[in-house]
Chains A and B, each alone.
Chain A
């Protein structure tokens, strides 16, 4: 008689453990991907929720503002002048332009707001936060380069070479040995009271440097601990803030003039070409209007269709066709719905491009199958005994359905609808086709005004070359995901709260 082979059993159990491990690994990998995706987005996006400004004492010049029309004042000029006054040593057009480039082109908004709110301050000097440019903001957040400052330990001698540009740095020794002794490397910046020099390297036996800031020629010796070595991880040519700008910002920071605050602007402003001024208000309003249209159409249509198909439709070829059609429609690529919107709503009916109305129509058709399928499942879950009981006391079939079955199925229908809503809220591709992809700085005012939606805003920003927009994109994604999670949580809550087992 053959026996169960014991030697095989060990192998079989090993195979069992292996298989189980594969399954757990698959789930772990999926979870890991999700975790990386979310963490990466949050890390990229969090900085964009903060903005950086500098506190300036600005004299509101009566010559530049008309008290009767405070909005039209030349505030830009005032803040630029105030900013230049902070750095009296900065001379020359190029340097001054580099200095004012640190301020945002919308930097004067806060001052304008103050004056408009209270024109009596015209002529006085006020302290006002001035928004910094995106590049300055990114530098201060440490996203352009990392920066280390080390105190110089040896005595530093600075000499000007006759007939040549630049300076020669020596310690007790010269040349390469000086480089070692002073702890310097090419590209390092030597900062001391009275100037700042950038080390260029050893040349003809001398350790040479060029000025970064205006350097006082009178300073020839700086004692140990009196100077700093500032080094950047990214070379100057590869970043949008050059060394002198970086040193100015450092100076402001040391004085405690830099203010980092939560960026309400991100939620209150429309789109902008300037990263520090761009916000998602326009996209959020556009999304809201679009989804509103979509749900106002898809919900009644979906429920009506589901009621007909589940409760009234005879079982015949025609309803079979509708059923197969709905199931197929649910799996049609969303971009195809965009083509439909473009060809039918824009070209045939002549509805306006980029409008939330058209976007809503397209999304309504897109989520309709989902809502019908979910609603049918909810209606099916209500036991037939409910209908029979209603019919038994003389109600018509429609009364039974509308007064008894539908209310019982409503939580299920709402759950399905919210999930459809979430899908509509995150949908991008079909909206590209109907022109919701344009740059629109204004907050949309109605269903037919040009608008964009949050996911499309993400797409638009992700395409821009500025590093600052990358952060904005991630921040917009965080907002998008928070809204979606809230919608899903609402659906889960509804399901749990009203779940009924028959």
Chain B
């Protein structure tokens, strides 16, 4: 039905275009008058009417009757005809078809850019709406400050703190790994590598950046975690099979390309004149980097780290596959912890009951996650923007 509807709308638009164009061409031929706009614009104008009418009625039909109904294609045809007819009849030699059509195009373009806004609004409302229902049965105080998380227990408890601690523990490990690696890689690429070497090194980071997180999760769970467990036991340490360290390490490697490419951009944006000034004083390259380039790039690097933190906090697959489900409140990287994203995924995979706090709590966690990352991203992007302006 869906495909038919789309095809019919396109067909209606094509008919309207052809009719509109023919009519305008006819006007020009018989009336002898000079058209204001090319005949094809008359056609496009009518076609736009058909498209809008068809889409509007089909969507309205889908909302009222349901997406699967046979009404949709019918609605598309009727809507197309209703939409095209008045625009078709407006055609006359003096009619400014191009201007009118362009006005429609502009409105369409504006609507398209509004989709991004609608997405954000959609996200906010979808997490907010279900969260509000959740907070009717669980108090926000208990949720935000509770130290026990067990949504399936009897009675269930919904304390965010262990999840937050677990998320931050894994994020911290990831940043400890990715921060130095990413930053030093960026410095080497931007300041030391010859263009040829850079051409050879960049793909390594690009390939790593392009590897889906589910692949990294598999690697973390099946290769890195047993390795850490094995070497930990060899040293006489007790390591959980789903240790925070394994997930954190692999997540760190995932973030290296992000930090590296952002820092690379930022280091390259530091004007050459500052480097020249330092070299002319007799500074070595590393002194120039450490004492002039990095301090100048500091705001940008800070924001790169913030974006990296936001990415680590929101990363799902690596932790779902390699971190545990047990909500332990611990700072031991060898213990198993769980994270916000793991809990969202576990709570919503499988049976969902939108009347139980268990399912709804996932949305409350989503709410926390969304706003936490939003704030980080917003601040980071503002810093970068300010920084760019400084050196433009």
Contact = CB atoms under 8 A, between A and B. Distances in A.
Contacts, number: 261
The secondary structure that dominates the A interface is helix
Interface string A317-336: 00001101111110111111
B85 to A, nearest CB: 25
Interface string A476-498: 01001100110010000000000
Interface stretch (A16-24, A168-176, A268-276): A16-24
Given A331-B373, A333-B373, A462-B221, 17 more contacts: A23-B191, A37-B215, A37-B216, A308-B106, A324-B381, A336-B370, A340-B122, A340-B123, A342-B126, A347-B354, A368-B115, A426-B213, A428-B317, A433-B344, A458-B214, A470-B222, A484-B210
A403 interface: no
A488 B210 contact: yes
Nearest to A346: B352
A396 B378 CA distance: 37
B318 to A, nearest CB: 10
Nearest to B112: A304
User: Main SS of the interface on chain B?
Assistant: helix
A71 interface: no
B204 A34 contact: yes
B215 A30 contact: no
A282 interface: no
Given A301-B112, A333-B313, A26 B180 contact: yes
B253 A332 contact: no
21 contacts: A12-B287, A16-B286, A19-B289, A20-B286, A27-B184, A29-B181, A30-B204, A34-B208, A41-B215, A304-B113, A305-B109, A308-B110, A328-B378, A328-B381, A331-B381, A335-B316, A335-B344, A339-B362, A365-B115, A396-B102, A429-B317
Given A15-B286, A23-B187, A350-B66, A458 B215 contact: yes
Interface string B216-246: 1111011100000000000000000000000
Interface residues of A, number: 90
A27 B185 contact: yes
B116 A332 contact: no
B188 A329 contact: no
Contact of B188 (A13, A23, A335): A23
B115 A331 contact: no
A312 B109 CA distance: 9
Given A331-B373, A340-B119, A305 B214 contact: no
Contact of A331 (B68, B366, B377): B377
A335 B314 contact: yes
A19 B290 contact: yes
Contact of B126 (A304, A339, A368, A455): A339
B362 A422 contact: no
Interface of B: 2-3, 63, 66-68, 98, 102, 105-106, 108-110, 112-117, 119-120, 122-123, 125-127, 129-130, 180-185, 187-189, 191-192, 201, 204-208, 210-219, 221-223, 253, 256, 282, 284-287, 289-290, 307, 310-311, 313-317, 320-321, 341, 344-345, 348-349, 352, 354, 362-363, 366, 369-370, 373-374, 377-378, 381
A258 to B, nearest CB: 28
Contacts of B216: 37
A294 to B, nearest CB: 13
A219 interface: no
A305 to B, nearest CB: 4
A342 B378 contact: no
Contacts of B214: 426, 428, 455-456, 458-459, 462
A110 B290 CA distance: 68
A329 B218 contact: no
A300 B112 CA distance: 9
A328 B2 contact: no
Contacts of B201: 27, 31
A33 B286 contact: no
B133 to A, nearest CB: 11
Nearest to B213: A428
B362 A12 contact: no
Contacts of B123: 332, 336-337, 339-340
B212 A484 contact: yes
B218 A458 contact: yes
A157 B288 CA distance: 83
Contacts of A340: 119, 122-123, 126
A216 B212 CA distance: 58
Contacts of B210: 422, 426, 484-485, 488
Contacts of B366: 335-336, 339
Given A12-B287, A26-B188, A335-B316, A480 B212 contact: yes
Given A22-B184, A339-B127, A328 B349 contact: no
B2 A30 contact: no
A30 B113 contact: no
Contact of B105 (A4, A16, A30, A398): A398
B391 to A, nearest CB: 18
Interface string A66-105: 0000000000000000000000000000000000000000
B282 A4 contact: yes
Contact of A429 (B191, B204, B341): B341
A227 interface: no
A393 to B, nearest CB: 15
Given A19-B289, A26-B184, A422-B210, A329 B116 contact: yes
A473 B223 CA distance: 13
Contacts of B284: 12-13, 15-16
A13 B282 CA distance: 12
Contacts of B3: 447
Nearest to B130: A343
B201 to A, nearest CB: 6
Contact of A432 (B119, B206, B315, B349): B349
3 smallest A-B Cβ distances: which pairs? A333-B314, A23-B188, A426-B212
Interface in A439-487: 447-448, 455-456, 458-459, 462-463, 470, 473-474, 477, 480-481, 484-485
Contacts of B67: 349-351
A329 B119 contact: yes
Contacts of B219: 37, 40-41
Nearest to B221: A462
A484 B47 CA distance: 38
Contacts of A462: 214, 217-218, 221-222, 321
A369 interface: yes
A31 B317 CA distance: 22
Contacts of A463: 321
Nearest to B187: A23
B127 A357 contact: no
